Amino acid sequence: MASIEFKKVTKSFGDSTVIEDLDLMIEDGKFTVLVGPSGCGKTTLLRMIAGLDPQTSGAVLIDGKDVSHTAPGQRGVALVFQNYAIYPTMSVRENIEFGLKNNKVSKEERKELVESISATVGLSDYLDRKPSTLSGGQRQRVALARAMVKKPAVFLMDEPLSNLDAKLRVHMRIELIELHKKLGSTFVYVTHDQVEAMSMADTIVLMNKGEIQQEASPDTIYREPNNLFTAQFVGVPPMNTAPLGKDGASFGFRPESAALTRSATDAWFQYKGVIMTREMLGSETIYHVKGDRYTFMIKCYEDLFAVDEPVYVGVPADKLFFFGADEKRIAKNAPGYQAYLDWLRRQVDE
């Protein structure tokens, strides 16, 4: 078990700097998910922990020890790759054993470890098979077993579920959460899929353009986004945001915070529009409402409206978010908040 710390870390590839002066503390034993759009630097961070692409400057600490000059194989970390990176010429057993052999683990101990781990991930019947004869899900398990068998202090995963089909992905998500509970080691998981991040993480580190946008629990990230980027990245569909028309500020609300009605109500923010599209997803329906000035996505748990129907979108005051010109969220107790709330109310009245 180990914590991971980045201290003033900079990473450049040639002339382009991907990450600059980054500080981050990943807690011991937590399931931390690095999430962000592609090219945001999340995989770069992961590879720095593994030592595959060491940082250009600054220090990376694992368990309080500076590992900047430690080889990948000596860092006590295991990495599961997106394409699994299984050794194709070795059998499942040899794949799992390879790391142990290199670490000079005795033959009896190896046999015991391989057998117990393969039982855990359900590969016992496949130990003598070649990877090419396995399904995608089984290969995934080989990659996991290979990582687990070394008993690493830190588990790194680079989009390990993105090559699986949707059903298997949801299943593996639960297995990974259980695995983390059982092993209790530090998990660092990279994904671009915010649903994956929300469902598995103890802590989400949301990144964009090499900078950390917010580092918090899924709950906090969802309810109290730091800034406009976070608000627009998290949630399906993400938060509705629009310019406020004052000081360059914006306002926003979650799709499920609004109510659709056929006649006007006394909601704090009210907006009249027409339903452009309707996506019926089973338990919920997503309406795309378009008016003169704004377009909103609204999530309803009842399917009451039809396309082309004129509707009112109503949002209560306590569900509204405001973001300053610097895109940072304005807290409810901050001085400008009430003024913006009143401004938005007046807009509606006009």
Question: Applying CB under 8 A, which residues contact another protein?
Answer: 50, 52, 71-74, 77-79, 81-83, 85-90, 98-99, 102-103, 146, 150
Closest approach of Cβ 319 to another protein, in Å?
A: 45
Cβ atoms 226, 205 nearer than 8 A: no
From CA 208, how far away is CA 115, in angstroms rounded? Answer: 42
Give the three-state DSSP class for 213. strand
Complex with another protein: residue 83 or 116, whichever CB lies closer: 83
Owner of token pair 């396995």: 134
The separation between CA 84 and the C-alpha centre of its own chain, rounded to angstroms, equals 20
Complex with another protein: residue 88 or 282, whichever CB lies closer: 88
Phi, psi of 240 (to 5 degrees): -75, 125
Closest approach of Cβ 44 to another protein, in Å?
A: 14
Closest approach of Cβ 81 to another protein, in Å?
A: 4
Token representation of residue 65: 């020890």
Complex with another protein: residue 189 or 321, whichever CB lies closer: 189
Complex with another protein: residue 143 or 206, whichever CB lies closer: 143
Complex with another protein: residue 74 or 295, whichever CB lies closer: 74
Complex with another protein: residue 57 or 83, whichever CB lies closer: 83
From CA 219, how far away is CA 294, in angstroms rounded? Answer: 28
- Identify the DSSP state of 40: S
Cβ atoms 321, 238 nearer than 8 A: no
Strand locations in the chain, DSSP E? Answer: 4-13, 16-26, 31-35, 57-62, 65-66, 77-80, 154-158, 186-191, 203-208, 211-216, 240-243, 250-253, 259-261, 269-280, 285-290, 295-300, 310-315, 321-323
